[in-house]
Amino acid sequence: MKQLSRRADDYRLVRRDVVGRILKNRPDLLLIGGLGPASWDCTAAGDRDLNFMLWGAMGGAVPIGLGLALAQPDRPVMVITGDGEMMMGMGSLALVAMQQPRNLHIVVLDNERFEETGGQLTPTAGCTDLQLVATGCGIEQSATIRDEVQLQKLIGEMYVKPGPAFSVIKVRAENEPMVTAPKDGNELRIRFRRALLGVA
């Protein structure tokens, strides 16, 4: 059996920088952030009305992103989440593959940890390969990004190539400061709907 290891301590890519670069100059994007640090990374890049950051619902980021992508097929939809959150909603990848939304890109910030709850190692620190899971579900466009060159290529292509796409980005395991979205879920829902549809 493959042992769990702390290799993410040495990964080069820094999650907040990665997310800031992915979201730069994309005011049109409908953005779903998975609970915890992934949502703080998104909010640190700018709190916008078209951000829908989850405060709970672990495992719910991709299902929400999928529903949104199907409801709004002409708008680009991005889900940014953590590996732990993704694993809790892993079955949703099969539905993404089945539905083939061309406007959906899923980004997993894989620090191989449950960082928010104390940095416990997740299965991706050992034998689990989320890209293979996505491919096995039938999402053909997938990647695992480990360095700057691969990251630049991904950012250059991610808004050009039709989805669905699934990108695992291996990021260094570290604690970034909390930058939180508004805490009231109803307020988040209302402002998102108003910005998207013009009605609450």
- Of residues 56-95, those binding ligand TPP (CB under 6 A): 56, 58, 82-85
Binding region for ligand TPP (CB under 6 A) out of 2-10, 32-40, 136-144, 152-160 = 32-40
77-82 and 30-33: which strand pairing? parallel
Size of residue set near ligand TPP by CB under 6 A: 18
CA-CA distance, 35 to 27, in Å (whole number)? Answer: 21
Binding region for ligand TPP (CB under 6 A) out of 95-103, 107-115, 145-153, 179-187 = 107-115
Binding region for ligand TPP (CB under 6 A) out of 30-38, 127-135, 161-169, 176-184 = 30-38
C-alpha of 192 from chain center? 18
| Torsions phi, psi for 41 (to 5 deg) | -60, -45
Select the residue interacting with ligand TPP from 30, 115, 145, 163 (CB under 6 A).
Answer: 115
Burial group, residue 155, by CB count within 10 angstroms (0-12, 13-18, 19+)? middle
Q: Is 191 among the residues that bind ligand TPP (CB under 6 A)?
A: no
92-101 CB burial, b ≥16 within 10 A, e <16: bbebbbeeeb
**Which residue's CB is nearer to ligand TPP, number 19 or number 154?**
19
What residues make contact with ligand TPP under the rule CB under 6 A? 34-38, 56, 58, 82-85, 111, 113-117, 122
